[in-house]
């Protein structure tokens, strides 16, 4: 039931991204073909689309439909995809494979991958600003939050800390900070943006942010666990790579059993934060479990 | 008189950029120090700040003060600076020198330069969204326009076409399209955004856009002329580089005298477009002349 709902949202995000990246209309009308192709290569054809799902389900908690926030959700996925395109570059993580396909700089070239990433990032803000179902005030607030959570004080800053970690030993606190920025910020954004779109009160908005932070932690922990235990065919990308690079992860420091216990604690904490919403939060709670227990 | 006004605006943009890039408050609070340093390296300490000047003076035509649009103007400069940081990368134009200083990837490293560019681009949208003096509707419309003019159908698309031009022969029409996107789009944005901020009517807004397009053409033509005639010490960057790379420019195709005549025509055209504004357009007309006649 949860997974079919996730798949349905993924299909809608894929379609909406495809519409925008066709270059037929909107902010990309008139863009050069090869650049559009590279953007499609980096953004279409895969991914669980978990972040947009969280945004849509957070907004649903406040009575909004999928259509009310579909462009905001698509924007969030565009940001996530841009970050993958840039992170895969030779100067960054130097990955040849992503979702079982050549990465954008492999399929095209480095310059095109840099520009495709830049263009996906830029597109995201066109999508938020153009979310006609929401009042301008909400769009502005969501854009501001997205810029904070995606930028140097969020995801991009986390990637900078992660790269620095290849040459210096990080403490547990420093690993936590890096991961909170690199992975946590966008997931927390997803949940908080849904609350903003839904015109939530301060306490509700704060709860959604907190929920997002908790499941962001769980997401990273589950990811690191998979890097320790899964193989490349399960992941569609190289496995065991973090360890090979000397990147410290919490599962590497504390072991697999500790990690599984910690994941269960985080799910319980996430449930507690959303308790005031009662049954309405059922899908988000299912998402928290899915994140903590996923095997790919 | 015009140049002192330009210098005064440049000083304010420099100060505002510096405030944001300190990381003390706003969207960058909590960002990693080294990434902030690289962003400052890429954005501070130089530049005529011509684009923000055009935005401020276009808004002034409709009665707005510098303070009303200072964050939007700063956002535009952040976009311009991000594009320079990325264009200088080894995979793109591979430049070691910018404004007489080492480029960001030389002073830091490639990964940091990519992330600093990404972060400056992201910051720009935080600045537009956070322009408190303007109504949310204007901020949303300006963000949408900025995303179009900076993205794949604007500046980034132009850079993609420019890189492709190193390996294929472009026609005059293709050169014009490439330059309209790469350089023209952001300059046209500057003028149109000022009109949006000033709540201009459709005809006025259209005139400002058109004015921006014309001076964008003049800007590129003057730039290409300088590449033919000036030396590196005048430019603070390598000269004659376009020609050495086999990049076709209009001055290279049609000669220096043709270019000077064409520049004079463009200035006259720009004056015509702004004629309905009378004396109020004096500063913008002076800007058009400055752009066409500059020697560095």
User: What is the ipTM metric for this complex?
Assistant: 0.95
The C-alpha atoms of residue B20 and residue B25 are separated, in whole angstroms, by 7
Are A111 and B91 inside 8 Å of each other by CB? yes
Helix ranges restricted to H, chain A: 2-21, 33-43, 50-60, 70-87, 104-107, 110-129, 136-150, 155-164, 172-179, 185-197, 202-229, 232-235, 241-244, 250-254, 256-273, 282-293
Mean pLDDT to the nearest integer, A113-137: 98
Q: Are A76 and A51 in contact (CB under 8 A)?
A: yes
The pair phi, psi for residue A48, each rounded to 5°, is -75, -15
Look at chain B and report how many structural domains it folds into. 1
Q: How many CA atoms lie within 13 A of A138 on its CB side?
A: 21
Contacts with B, A 30-69, CB within 8 Å? 30-32, 34-36, 39
Angle at B145 between CA B200 and CA B190, to 5 degrees: 65
Q: Are A180 and A155 in contact (CB under 8 A)?
A: no
Residue A236 confidence (pLDDT):
54
**pLDDT at residue A91 is higher than 60:** yes
B197: tokens are: 């901020």
Shortest CA gap A47–chain B (Å): 22
Residue A159 confidence (pLDDT):
96
Residue A234 confidence (pLDDT):
56
**pLDDT at residue A241 is higher than 80:** no
For residue B54, give the nearest of B120, B116, B10 by alpha carbon. B10
pLDDT by residue (tens digit) across A168-188? 888 888 989 999 999 999 999
Residue B243 confidence (pLDDT):
59
Of the given ranges (A123-127, A291-295, B232-236), which has the lowest mean pLDDT? B232-236
Q: pLDDT grade, residue A109 (50/70/90)?
A: very high
Q: pLDDT grade, residue B288 (50/70/90)?
A: very high
pLDDT by residue (tens digit) across A25-34? 889 999 999 9
Mean pLDDT to the nearest integer, B152-168: 93
**pLDDT at residue A94 is higher than 60:** yes
Closest partner CB to B121 (pick from A121, A137, A143): A121
Of the given ranges (A138-152, A247-261, B42-56), which has the lowest mean pLDDT? A247-261
Tracing tokens 């789009």 back to the chain, one arrives at B185
Are B121 and A117 inside 8 Å of each other by CB? no
The sign of the torsion formed by the CA atoms of A92, A98, A102, A104 equals negative
Q: How many CA atoms lie within 13 A of A4 on its CB side?
A: 1
**Count of CB pairs separated by less than 8 Å, A with B:** 185
Q: Is A98 helix (H, G, I), strand (E, B) or coil?
A: strand
**pLDDT at residue A228 is higher than 90:** no
Q: Structural domain of residue B10, as residue ranges?
A: 2-293
Q: Which long-range contacts (CB under 8 A, 24 or more apart) does A12-16 make?
A: A12/A66, A12/A70, A13/A49, A13/A52, A13/A70, A13/A73, A13/A74, A13/A77, A14/A44, A14/A45, A14/A49, A16/A70, A16/A71, A16/A74
End-to-end CA distance of chain A: 18
Closest partner CB to B118 (pick from A86, A111, A116): A86
Structure letter (DSSP) for residue B226: H
Residue B240 confidence (pLDDT):
58
The C-alpha atoms of residue A221 and residue A237 are separated, in whole angstroms, by 17
- H/E stretch holding B212: helix B202-229
Residue A32 confidence (pLDDT):
96
pLDDT by residue (tens digit) across B219-255? 999 999 998 887 555 555 555 566 566 667 888 888 9
Mean pLDDT of chain B: 93
Helix ranges restricted to H, A22-69: 33-43, 50-60
CATH of the domain at A267: 1.10.600.10
Structure letter (DSSP) for residue A255: -
Per cent of chain B over pLDDT 90 is 81
pLDDT by residue (tens digit) across B248-280? 788 888 899 999 999 999 999 999 999 999 999
**pLDDT at residue A237 is higher than 80:** no
Closest partner CB to A161 (pick from B32, B36, B118): B32
Is residue B240 classed exposed, middle or buried when 0-12, 13-18 and 19+ CB atoms within 10 A define those classes?
middle
């Amino acid at each position: 039931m949860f997974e079919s709902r996730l798949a349905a949202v993924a299909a809608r995000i894929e379609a909406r991204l495809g519409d925008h990246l066709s270059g037929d209309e909107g902010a990309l009308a008139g863009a050069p073909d090869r650049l559009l192709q590279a953007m499609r290569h980096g953004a279409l054809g895969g991914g669980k689309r978990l972040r947009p799902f969280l945004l849509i389900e957070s907004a649903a908690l406040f009575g909004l439909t999928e259509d009310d926030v579909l462009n905001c959700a698509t924007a969030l996925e565009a940001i996530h995809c841009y970050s993958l395109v840039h992170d895969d570059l030779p100067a960054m993580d130097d990955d040849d494979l992503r979702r079982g396909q050549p990465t954008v700089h492999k399929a095209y070239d480095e310059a095109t991958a840099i520009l495709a990433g830049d263009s996906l990032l830029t597109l995201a803000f066109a999508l938020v600003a153009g979310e006609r179902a929401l009042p301008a005030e909400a769009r502005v607030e969501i854009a501001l939050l997205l810029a904070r959570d995606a930028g140097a004080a969020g995801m991009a800053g986390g990637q900078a800390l992660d790269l620095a970690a290849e040459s210096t030993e990080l403490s547990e606190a420093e690993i936590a900070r890096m991961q909170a920025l690199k992975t946590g910020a966008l997931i927390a954004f997803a949940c908080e943006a849904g609350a903003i779109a839904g015109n939530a009160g301060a306490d509700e908005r704060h709860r959604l942010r907190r929920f997002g932070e908790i499941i962001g932690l769980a997401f990273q922990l589950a990811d690191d666990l998979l890097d320790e235990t899964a193989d490349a065919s399960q992941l569609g990308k190289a496995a065991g790579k973090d360890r090979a690079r000397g990147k410290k992860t919490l599962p590497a420091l504390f072991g697999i059993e500790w990690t599984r216990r910690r994941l269960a604690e985080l799910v319980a904490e996430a449930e507690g934060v959303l308790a005031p919403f009662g049954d309405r939060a059922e899908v988000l709670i299912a998402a928290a479990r899915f994140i903590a227990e996923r095997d790919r």
